[in-house]
A = this chain, B = another copy of it.
Amino acid sequence: MTVINEKINLHSKGYTDIINITEEVAEIVAKHKVENAQVLVYVPGSTASITTIEYEPGLLKDLPEAFDKFAPMSHSYHHDETWHDGNGYAHVRASMIGNSESFPVINKELYLGTWQQIVLIDFDNKPRTRSVIVQIVY
């Protein structure tokens, strides 16, 4: 079996910044010419997540608004009693959404819906540098 590890390095603005990384993931898959495989897209850390979304301007507002209901930025968090860094909301959101998504590659194609993009969401309350791991197993 083969395990391939690649990295996508990027900058985020934080504050639930949603970054489309579909093309970068697809290029890594294409580069390795795998026929059938599984791709894990994973971001380390406790204030960022990987998910998919139709990447269009409306949903880029809707999704943060929905998160703000579940874990409002304005709310006071016990986490801030520990670190005073004001990002308790970011941790709660990231734990809920999770750090990774897995995708099948079938006949060389990353198997996504027509209106489905892979995104990194950076919930932290400051700009960050992030490394996304793209791990292909086959």
Contacts and interface: CB of A to CB of B under 8 A. Distances in A.
Interface of A: 1-3, 5, 36-38, 40, 42, 44-46, 51-54, 56-59, 61-63, 66, 69-71, 77-83, 88, 91-92, 94-104, 106, 111-113, 115-116, 133, 135, 137-138
Contacts of A81: 58
B113 A5 contact: no
User: Can you tell how many copies of this chain the complex includes?
Assistant: 3
A58 B86 CA distance: 12
B80 A58 contact: yes
A92 B78 contact: no
A44 B5 contact: no
Contact of A36 (B5, B37, B79): B5
A24 B78 CA distance: 27
B71 A66 contact: yes
Contacts of A99: 52, 101, 116
A115 to B, nearest CB: 5
Given A53-B95, A95-B51, A88 B58 contact: yes
